[in-house]
Amino acid sequence: MSKQWCQTNVTGDTVQSPDLTCATWNVHRAKGRDGKRDPGRIVNAIETAIAPIEPDVLALQEADEECPPHAQILDIPAIEATTGLHCIHTDPALRWGPESSGFLGTILFVAPRLNVVHTDLIDLAGHCHRGAVSLELTDGLTRFRLMSMHLSLSQSLRAVQMRTLGQYIRRRPSMQTVLLGDLNEWRPWGGFAFSKSMLGRKFSGPAPATFPTRTPILPLDRIMSDEPGTVREARVLNTPETNIASDHCPLVAKVTIKGTVLGEPT
Q: Can you name the CATH fold of 2-265? A: Deoxyribonuclease I; Chain A (3.60.10)
| pLDDT, block means (10 residues), the chain with 266 residues | 38 67 98 95 98 98 94 97 98 95 97 97 87 95 95 90 94 96 88 78 94 96 95 96 97 89 48
Amino acid 256: pLDDT: 96
Instruction: Report d(CA 146, CA 215) in Å as an integer.
Output: 29
**Res 262: pLDDT:** 60
CA distance 116 to 112: 10
* 162: exposed, middle or buried (Cβ count in 10 Å: 0-12, 13-18, 19+): buried
pLDDT at position 189: 74
**Domain boundaries, given as residue ranges, for the chain:** 2-265
Instruction: Provide the pLDDT for residue 98.
Output: 95
pLDDT value, residue 37: 96
pLDDT value of residue 32: 95
- Judge contact between 208 and 219, C-beta under 8 A: yes
pLDDT at position 9, please? 39
